[in-house]
Structure 1
Amino acid sequence: MSAPGDDDPPLEGRPIGRRAFFGLVGAGLTALAWGGSALRGVSSASEALPAFVRSAVPIGDGWRIYAVNEPYPTFRPATWRLRIDGLVRHPQSLDHVALRALPRAEQTPDFHCVTGWSVPGVHWAGVRFADLLAAAQPLPSARALAFVSAETPYVDYLTLEQAASPDAMLAYDMDRAPLTREHGAPARLVMPRMYGYKGVKWVQRIVVLDRANAGYWEQRGYDRDAWVGDSNGL
């Protein structure tokens, strides 16, 4: 079975090479360390940069919200469905109520971005993948999951073994409230042992596959297995 993206046209735009990306991020982090006028100077200078560069430079406190194709997708509860298909016996289409009715899991891990910043103690609630896939019944040939975002062309992959990690989930709540639009409402992948670029937001489809492919950021130079502290040269 072909995976999402196999037949897509060539990627467009100006991808940022890994060295360039980390150079830009380094400038942003240095400004954060300096504070005061230096931070304001970097913020002001960043306004003259192309949008794809500005989105890569972490400016400000707390979360840095990155997007690959603005504006953020809009969640409409009346029409939203999560499709689960591919190498399964029973394809599923879950509305938001049905998703939240599945066995609930909660956890409070730290969130790590490959660009060098972290958010400690993020409380997530959602569904473990064993419970999410139970009704679909993956076939014996199943080996991986593709997470397809409403923010095209954002797709990323986990092997089934990775998705079985005890802290992997499809989250619908963050810090004891429903996900906000900028954080991926209504559902996002959470994989705390991997860097945040694997955490696909605005998930609208999960495809069960026979292999994991290179996702959006991996096609732009990042490691496929984004283990925190043990990938991307870190």
Structure 2
Amino acid sequence: MGLSSLLWGRSAWESTSRLIPNGVGAVLPQPTSGWRIYTVASTMPRIDPASYRLRVDGLVQQPVSLTLAHLRALPVAEQVSDFHCVTGWSVDDVRWTGVRIRDVLARAGPLPSAGALAFVSAERPYVDSLTLDQALLPDVMLAWEMDARPLPRPHGGPLRLVMPAMYGYKSVKWVERVVVTREPVVGYWEERGYDRDAWVGRSNAA
């Protein structure tokens, strides 16, 4: 999901919190940005960018382990897109910088049987997935910058998935592994009743 910045009034918090399963924490650290950050673990992962590795494996010709330098050496993608949380809030015009999924997958070579990608977070037990067609949409990326700054820890730094056409719980934070699979896996929020295909305006809270 997203990060929480905007401090809510009591009634707004009570209304929104009914949509969040028990055990999910909310952090509200930045009073004017509009973001709200939710966590499913007791603490957010703390990852040293210098030692970070992204593992790409599963149904591939050659599993790979990519540093941030490896990722930045791939064709750089930039975009401005809106971020929508299933609990009802949005942040408009977020500027992301990163790499397209197709360029990451090209390093590993998906097998013909590949049909989906599972994105595994360093925040245990968070995982979610996209079909291969969804992951290859032109505005999907793995991002290492947000609004021209290195991706902050609460937003999933050093690397997170960005899937603007779906609600924020699909945009997995702190991505440490991409597993190529035949079919989408059941994600953390899908296990708790949320839609697998979380298109904005067409699922869940729509």
For Structure 1 versus Structure 2, the TM-score category normalised by the shorter chain is 0.7 to 0.9
**In structure 2, how many angstroms separate the alpha carbons of the residues matched to 1:65 and 1:192?**
17
Contact 2:25/2:38 (<8 A) preserved: no
- Tell me the CA shift for residue 182 of structure 1: 0.3
Offset at residue 96 of structure 1 (A):
1.4
Scaled by the length of structure 2, the TM-score of the pair is 0.86
Q: Is the 8 A contact 2:56 2:180 kept in 1?
A: yes
Q: 2:26 aligns with which of 55, 71, 76?
A: 55
Unaligned runs of 5+ in 2: 1-5, 14-20
Equivalent residue letter for 1:160: L
Pairing partner for 1:104 from 73, 76, 81: 76
Taking the aligned partners of 2:191 and 2:24, their CA distance within structure 1 comes to: 17
Distance in 2 (CA, whole Å) between partners of 1:204 and 1:69 is 16
**8 Å contact kept, 2:24–2:41:** no
Q: Is 2:157 the counterpart of 1:191?
A: no
1:1-234 counterparts in 2 under 5 A? 32=8, 39=9, 52=23, 55=26, 61=32, 62-234=34-206
| Number of residue pairs aligned between Structure 1 and Structure 2 | 192
**1: CA distance, partners of 2:25 / 2:44:** 16
1:106/1:190 CA distance change after superposition, 3 Å? same
Max Rg structure = 1
Residues 207-233 of structure 1: per-residue CA shift (max 9 Å, x gap): 000110210001001000000000015
Q: RMSD of aligned C-alpha atoms?
A: 2.4
2: distance between equivalents of 1:65 and 1:52? 14
The runs of 5 or more residues in structure 1 that have no matched partner are 1-28, 33-38, 44-49
TM-score, normalised with respect to structure 1? 0.76
The DSSP-based 3-state class of the residue aligned with 1:110 is strand
Structure with higher strand content? 2
2:152 partner amino acid: T
Residues 24 and 40 of structure 2 are in contact (CA less than 8 Å); yes or no, is this contact kept in structure 1?
Answer: no
Aligned to 2:37, what secondary structure does the other structure show?
A: coil
Identity %: 61
Deviation by residue 1:169-223 (Cα, 9 ceiling, x = unmatched):
0111100111000000111010000000101000000000011021000100100
- The residue that corresponds to 1:6 in the other structure is none
Q: Distance in 2 between matches of 1:223 and 1:196?
A: 12
Query: Deviation digits for residues 102-160 of structure 1, max 9, x if unmatched?
Result: 11001101110010000000000111011111010000000000000000100000000
Amino acid at match of 1:204: E
**Distance in 2, Cα, partners of 1:215 & 1:54:** 18
